Structures are given as structure tokens and as C-alpha cells.
Structure 1
Amino acid sequence: MNLLKNLKSILLVVLAPIALTACKKDNNSSTGAPQQNSITVENVLQSQPLVESGTFQETGTPALIQPGQSTTITFSAAKGEALSFATMYGASNDLFFAPSNPGIQVYDGSGKPIEGDVSDQVKLWDNGTRVNQKPGATVNHPGVAESKNITEVAGTDAQGNTYLAASKLVKATLKYNGSSTFTLTLQNTSGGTANQTPLSPGVWSVSYIVGGTLQASNPLYTTGQPTANGLTNIAEAGDNSALSTYVKSITGIFTPLSPILVVVYNGINNPIYNVGQLDAGKGLKPLAQQGNADTLAAYLKTVKGVKAVYVLPAPTTKVLLPQIAGKQGGVVSQQLSVNTGDRLAIATMYGFSNDWFFASADNGVDATQKGDISNTIKLFDDGTAINQFPGAGLTQFNLAGTPLKESNPIGAVPNPNGFTTLPDINKIIKVTLK
């Protein structure tokens, strides 16, 4: 599998170009001489390239998908994301069915969900680890070993054995369920043909798309390269456990953080949001939905008790990218002049969501303290946009979508939630006062 190695395209992910802004106000509640402090915010998420993955099989024992039987895969996807899968041609030495990379496209060019028969996107592949015998029930498993690259079987294999087109043996049908979720039905239609075969339990995956580039464009195999990551176990023996373990290890969270809003205040409660209340219409909505803090920053400058407001974009990228392939995530810092009694709060968008935002819990923190304050940050739902699978939603703004309106009170995002289980917040965002 080839992970994204050129980060140039990722840097195209721009939530909203926002310039550094600041304001200061007199506040009689502050005491003592001003002291210099600084805030540093980092995206420390160890990102993963796959947004979702899983396994499929028949419900019986053994879990083979026999001719006439079918199985389903239900998944979420944003525009440009694709579904890949792999399942063994059971009556062979090491052949498997899979879509061409990066997988089955589920939206057309205009962003309309694709439905119906997509069997023509399913292909037959030779894993390159066993010499092919004539396919059928008499194949001797595992057979004679060889060491070749993965190649497509288009009518005949390297030994001259013949095959119908994969679309004649496996029928793939897409159904759109709404809210960016799909169901793919795989039906074994090989019965009565010269290539009758069971299908093995398989593995499926969906890659994140970032700045128009898939993070895993070859998620399960690479044409013209040796097999890897447990695919051989499927192709030779129909055992999906090793490949499943591998894809689970690279499935998880990927999200940028929008430019960080920082506010210093005194004598008032946290002015950014109120849990249990509707969005007040002062600018939190564009921050939570689009990562644009301009409106909220401008409003906060007018609030009595607010001493300073900053919006901190990352250099070059504006957004704070997560750690990608071991490279450090985005970091921003700001010098502060604070007094005893001052409070501090921040807010930033969970970039690959509909309207989730990280923010300081309750009434923020003592602005004069030092150290790691990441444990004071919580994840909230602004309640202004219908939620979809984070990183796989057609209406998520930063995946070229338009959020769908809802009106619910601001509340904490549960973890696990209805879509996924998130890492601990301090493994996504780190906030330090020095």
C-alpha cells in the first residue's frame, strides 16, 4: 500500500485564510503589574490514512459466499473517496477479486451519489505467489510457490487458463442510504459458468481524501508490486484475519484544526459559547462549520470584560495539520500580556466534521498559570449542522460540501459517538502556557 508521501497536495486544505488579529481593553478587575506569558497550540494527532474499514462474509459456517449467495458492506464516504475490497476466487490457487485502485467510486463528478450495478468496476487479480492450475474444485491448495508481482487476469492467466470477466462472476450493486452512507451488495453469480467458485470472507476499506488527494490510493494491493500486509492469506486460503488486522492498524482519525481563536478576559464567564444553549449567532457557527473565526473575533472585541483576542493561523497552511507519516503536526504560538485575575479560553474547529469544535471547558483557565492545559479542552457540537461520519461526509464544508441546517443546543460530543471512537483529546490537541 502506498501512503501519501508528497505533502504538497495536503497543504491545499484551507479552512479559511485568517490573518492574526488582536485587541486589548482596559479592565479594572485585573490586578498587579502585567506579566508576560505565551500560549502554544499543537495538532499532535497521529493521523491514519483510512477513515473506515471492516470485513465481510456469509453468515453460515464455513463463511464462504457460495454461488447464488450475497453479502453486504455498509460504509460512509465523502466526494472523491472510494470503496476497496478483496475476496478470494476460492477455486483457484491465489486469485482474488477487487476493484481497480483506488476502489469503487460512489459519487459522480457533480457529487451525486451513484446507485445501481457497478460490477464493471470489479476485476480479477493474480496474487503472484502460486503457479495457477486450471480453476475448479480439483485445484490442489496451496500449490507450487512462485514470486511474481500482482497482475490483472484479463481473460487468461499466465498459464493460459481462461476466465469470464469478473463482472460476470461477481455482481456489485450500490445503494445510497442517505447522509453519505452506502450499502454495497456483492452477489456470487458464478454458478453454472465455467468459472464457478465460492468467494471467501474479505476485507474492505475507505481512504480519507485531503486536499483532493486520497491518503491511501492503493489501500489493499498495488498492481505491478509484490503482495503485502496479509493479502496472500486471502488470495491463497480465503483467510481475511491478517489483512483485517493490518487495515485496522491504519484506520482512525485524520483532522486538521482551524486557526486557533484565543481570548483573554476578566470578570465575565467564557464568552465563546454556552453549553445547553443555541448558538448565539455571534460567529461561533462559521468557526464550527468552516473554521473561520473572523466573525467571532470581531464580536469578542466588543464584549465588555474581554481584554485581548487573537486568531492564530499556521504558517503556509493556515490550518494546523495532524502528524502525517511521522512528520510533525501544525504548531502556533502567541505572546500574551496578562494580569492576576485574567482568564483564557480557546476554540478551533474539528476540521473534518460538520460543526464540531474544540474549546476550553467551563470558564477557561487562569491566564497566568504555566504548563500543559490540554486536559481543560473539550469537544463540542455546535448544533447548527446535521452530523455525518467525520472525514466521510458529503456535506462537510472542508470536504467541498454544504452543511445541512439543524438547530440544537450546544453540547459535548460523546465518545464513543454514533460514528466512531475518537482518541483522547490530549492526543489530538496540545495546549501549553509558558
Structure 2
Amino acid sequence: MTMNTPRLGWMAAVLFPLTFIACNKNDDNNPAEGTEKRTITVENVLNSRTLVESGSYQGEGTPPLILPGQSVSFHFSASVGQTVTFASMYGWSNDLFFAPANPGIALYNEKKEPIEGDVSAQVKLWDNGTRINQKPGVGVSHPGVADAKSVTEVNGTDAQGNTYLPASSLVKATLKYDGASYFTLTLTNTSGGTANETPLSPGVWAISYIAGGDLLNKTPLYKSGEPTANGLTALAEAGDNSQLYNYVKENTGIFTPLSPVLVVVYNGVDNPIYKTGENDRAQGLKNLAQQGDASILAAALEKLNGVKKVYVLPAPSSKVLLPVIGNQPGGMVSQDLDVVKGDRLAIATMYGFSNDWFFASADNGVDATQAGDISTSIKLFDDGTAIDQFPGAGNAQFNLGGVTSVESKPISEIPNPNAFTTLPAISNIVKVTIK
């Protein structure tokens, strides 16, 4: 399945000068004796994923079917524009399955308010196209006669003329908003006593990232009009959700851009950007951590004693540093530096799809005269100025069009795993080298 390349227009609201260079009184046209030339390069090396969340569900019996009258629920986080999709086999068929039409069930209305209640009308019945359909019912023989057609919607009758009630009459889907961008979707088998009574198989669900107003993966489980793929056949023919779940699990993980990178060279003082255990200093770090805007912090740092130079480095075209997307390399920025013995160097950049997380040099930065890969000196921090949500699926995240909810806590390192997800090693997200 192909992935849609995102348009990250969300950073347009915080565009600042393409390269902001602030220098203090130590800056002149005659480098000091002992000056050494260095180049710092920062890259987004994250091997990104298109799905922010996914999972599986099943009934409570043995086998774990969802029988008529029974329900199953799953819980997830989502922001405005994101949708939830799922798939379960119509058990008493050869290869039919229930799923919403792509890209999935809408979770917010036009006013950006969470949707609650009965959303069954968005559930459809689909033919996987790999078996000739027999008359649905307990007498269906499995697997049946092989076929080689594309996935198509069953709207009243299938290709063999068998009739079906609307999917919304067989599966009830109910949304409940749990607060803080979390939802619960409950699926109830309502087919009992109808002409299309059937158990539902264990299933798979998924939610795509959204960037620049576009879902990165609008078809995570199936594509109408195209041949089935990625383990869907095992679900549609035999109710086995394991292959499809493994596929979506492989495509679930982290996707985040990095904001334009702030670089500061200093001497004789501690890291001027932040200190863990202290609250945000109200010098602009909050703007970087919440909105990706480093300009205010850069201007404040320029005025501090001991700070020699400050740079804000946006990617050449996208401004933000995009992650690795398919065969496209991640974003990269570089800056030449003049440094002397005793100079220290620190950086900071926003974890773009968060409320107020930022990557930064740990402790007192690094020796600015060294050379090599210094990625292990970078850690991920919570600025403590906004209530956290699931990264990439929170309706109060600035870069997803939200308004952050204020809190006031000391700056702290983000644990891994954290309350929301498990991140790759920081060096597999942010690569920093000095040459």
C-alpha cells in the first residue's frame, strides 16, 4: 500500500527568518587567536511510520468470536481530522468483512467537537474477492472456491446474487468521548434474528497520522477496487486477524518533524537554554517547545553574558526537518562555527507532534571544539508548560491545530517507554555531528 507524502503547512504559522544569527560583543571580523573551524550538522534520521496507533480486539469466548448480542470495545487517542478504521470477518461467509469506508470513521465534526453516539452508518460490508460467495449462513463451507477479484463493497447483493441487509443493521458502532482527546469505540453484533445472522471475527483497528491536513495513510487495512493485501485474506476468509495485525503493527510508530534547530555557543556559563528541575524561564523556550518557534529564545540568549553566538537553522525548503519518509532522506541543516578552547555548544528543537516536548543537549552541552557524532548527548525533555497528550494524536497540540492546556511543572526528561508510547533511541531520531 502506498503512503501519501505529507504537506507540512502547519509550520507556516510560525515562520521566522530563514537563518537567524545573533552575535554578542565577541563577534567581529578578526577571529580570536586559537580560533578553530567546526561545522555542526543536525539531521532528522527517524525512520517514520504512517500509523500513530493500532491494535486488535476479540470476543471473550473460545474461539474468541463476537456473537450476536455481544460487544467489544477499544480505546484510542485522536486529534481533529484523524479517523479510526477497523476490520472483522462476516463469520458465516466465504470472504466478506465489515469495515468503515476509507479513510475511516470521523471523530470530530466541522466545529472540531468530538463526535459521540451511533456511527453505524459509516460501517460497510466488503467482499475480499478471493472466494466465490456461497449463500451466507452457518452452512457455508470453508474455504470455498478460489476467486481473483478486487475488494468491492457489498451493497445489497454480492456478485453471486446473495442478498444482505445494510451493514449498519448487523454491526452497531458507538463512539464515546472520554476526554483529553481519548475515545472508546464499541462494536456490537446486532445480526441476531436477521436474515444475515453471523458471528464477527476478532479484528484489527488503526489510526493514521495527520500532517498538513492530510492523513499519511488513508487506506491502512484495504483498498476498494484493488486486490487484497497484507494479511487481510486470512481475516476475511478464516477470521484470523494475526497477519493483518502484524502488518499494521509494523507500520505503527513514530512520525514527527523537528522544528528549526536552535544552536548556541557559550563560554564560562552553564547551558543557557534550560535546566532540568527548574520551571521554564519565560525566555522563549516555551515557544520553541510548544510551537517550534525558536526566534524569541534566540533573541533572549543573545543578551546573556557568556553567550557568544546563537543560530536558528531551518531546513532549506520545508523549514522543519522532516523524518525519513519511504526512500526520501530526512531533513538536515548545517552551520559553520568559529570556536576556541573552553567554548561549549548546545542545541534545542521541538518534537513537532507533541504538546511541549523538545530535544536538547543534556546537562551543560558539549565541548564545541570536539569532532565526531555527539548524538548521545541529546535527550528529550518535557517543558512542563502544557498538559501532555498522545504524541501525534492530541487535539490540543499546536501543530495539529489545537490550543495547548496550560500547566506549570519543572522541566524533566521524558522516560522511555512513557505514558503514551515507546520511542526509538534518541540517536535514531536526532543525529548531531561536529566536523
TM-score by length of 1: 0.97
Q: Aligned equivalents of 2:177 and 2:347: distance in 1? A: 38
Alignment deviations for residues 262-307 of structure 1 (CA, whole Å, 9 cap, x no partner):
0000000000001001111010000000000011000001100000
Q: CA deviation at 1:73?
A: 1.3
Q: Aligned equivalents of 1:230 and 1:73: distance in 2? A: 21
Alignment deviations for residues 237-257 of structure 1 (CA, whole Å, 9 cap, x no partner):
000000011001100000000
Structure 2 letter corresponding to 1:142: P
Question: Does the 8 Å contact 1:18/1:318 carry over to 2?
Answer: no
Q: Aligned equivalents of 1:265 and 1:369: distance in 2? A: 14
The match for 2:15 among 14, 17, 21 is 17
SS of 1:262's equivalent in the other structure is: strand
Q: Aligned equivalents of 2:12 and 2:243: distance in 1? A: 37
Q: Corresponding residue for 1:277?
A: 278
Q: Corresponding residue for 1:224?
A: 225
Map 1:399-414; keep pairs closer than 5 Å.
399-414=400-415
Q: Aligned equivalents of 1:116 and 1:13: distance in 2? A: 34
Q: Corresponding residue for 1:258?
A: 259
Structure 1 letter corresponding to 2:204: V
Structure 2 letter corresponding to 1:2: T
Map 1:60-209; keep pairs closer than 5 Å.
60-209=61-210
Question: Does the 8 Å contact 2:375/2:430 carry over to 1?
Answer: yes
Q: CA deviation at 1:190?
A: 0.3
Q: CA deviation at 1:119?
A: 0.2
Q: Aligned equivalents of 2:143 and 2:2: distance in 1? A: 28
> Judging changes above 3 Å, is the alpha-carbon distance between structure 1 residues 11 and 324 closer, same or farther for their aligned structure 2 residues?
farther
Q: Aligned equivalents of 2:281 and 2:309: distance in 1? A: 21
Q: Aligned equivalents of 1:164 and 1:429: distance in 2? A: 52
Alignment deviations for residues 201-230 of structure 1 (CA, whole Å, 9 cap, x no partner):
000000000111111101100000000000
> Judging changes above 3 Å, is the alpha-carbon distance between structure 1 residues 22 and 10 closer, same or farther for their aligned structure 2 residues?
closer
Question: Does the 8 Å contact 2:22/2:299 carry over to 1?
Answer: no
Q: Aligned equivalents of 1:77 and 1:273: distance in 2? A: 31
Q: Aligned equivalents of 2:47 and 2:10: distance in 1? A: 20
Question: Does the 8 Å contact 1:18/1:259 carry over to 2?
Answer: no
Question: Does the 8 Å contact 1:15/1:291 carry over to 2?
Answer: no
Q: CA deviation at 1:34?
A: 1.1
Q: CA deviation at 1:13?
A: 4.7
Q: Corresponding residue for 2:338?
A: 337
Q: CA deviation at 1:326?
A: 1.8
> Judging changes above 3 Å, is the alpha-carbon distance between structure 1 residues 10 and 22 closer, same or farther for their aligned structure 2 residues?
closer
Q: Aligned equivalents of 2:10 and 2:272: distance in 1? A: 32
Q: Aligned equivalents of 2:111 and 2:338: distance in 1? A: 50
Q: Aligned equivalents of 1:120 and 1:384: distance in 2? A: 40
Q: CA deviation at 1:16?
A: 2.2
Q: CA deviation at 1:144?
A: 0.4
Q: Corresponding residue for 2:390?
A: 389
Question: Does the 8 Å contact 1:12/1:317 carry over to 2?
Answer: no
Q: Aligned equivalents of 1:333 and 1:3: distance in 2? A: 29
Q: CA deviation at 1:26?
A: 4.5
Alignment deviations for residues 137-167 of structure 1 (CA, whole Å, 9 cap, x no partner):
0000110000000000001001110000000
Question: Does the 8 Å contact 1:3/1:49 carry over to 2?
Answer: yes
Q: CA deviation at 1:27?
A: 5.8
Q: CA deviation at 1:23?
A: 2.5
Alignment deviations for residues 316-336 of structure 1 (CA, whole Å, 9 cap, x no partner):
111000011120110000010
SS of 2:162's equivalent in the other structure is: coil
Question: Does the 8 Å contact 2:10/2:400 carry over to 1?
Answer: no
Question: Does the 8 Å contact 1:101/1:217 carry over to 2?
Answer: yes
Map 1:240-251; keep pairs closer than 5 Å.
240-251=241-252
Q: How many pairs are equivalent? A: 431
Q: Aligned equivalents of 1:315 and 1:422: distance in 2? A: 27
Q: CA deviation at 1:36?
A: 1.1
Q: Aligned equivalents of 1:371 and 1:65: distance in 2? A: 57
Structure 1 letter corresponding to 2:189: N
Q: CA deviation at 1:24?
A: 2.5
Q: Aligned equivalents of 2:9 and 2:296: distance in 1? A: 24
Alignment deviations for residues 67-116 of structure 1 (CA, whole Å, 9 cap, x no partner):
00000011111111100100000000000000000000101112100000
Q: Corresponding residue for 2:416?
A: 415
Map 1:35-46; keep pairs closer than 5 Å.
35-46=36-47
Q: Aligned equivalents of 2:366 and 2:430: distance in 1? A: 16
Q: Corresponding residue for 1:54?
A: 55
Map 1:257-336; keep pairs closer than 5 Å.
257-336=258-337
Q: CA deviation at 1:25?
A: 2.9
Question: Does the 8 Å contact 1:63/1:200 carry over to 2?
Answer: yes
Question: Does the 8 Å contact 1:264/1:307 carry over to 2?
Answer: yes
Q: Aligned equivalents of 1:134 and 1:23: distance in 2? A: 75
Q: Corresponding residue for 2:3?
A: 3
Q: Aligned equivalents of 1:323 and 1:2: distance in 2? A: 15
Q: Aligned equivalents of 1:243 and 1:331: distance in 2? A: 35
Alignment deviations for residues 392-430 of structure 1 (CA, whole Å, 9 cap, x no partner):
000000000011101110000000000000000000000
Question: Does the 8 Å contact 2:89/2:201 carry over to 1?
Answer: yes
Q: CA deviation at 1:31?
A: 8.0
Structure 1 letter corresponding to 2:14: A
Question: Does the 8 Å contact 2:50/2:253 carry over to 1?
Answer: yes
Structure 1: gaps (5+ residues): none
SS of 1:248's equivalent in the other structure is: helix
Q: Aligned equivalents of 1:48 and 1:309: distance in 2? A: 33
SS of 1:244's equivalent in the other structure is: helix
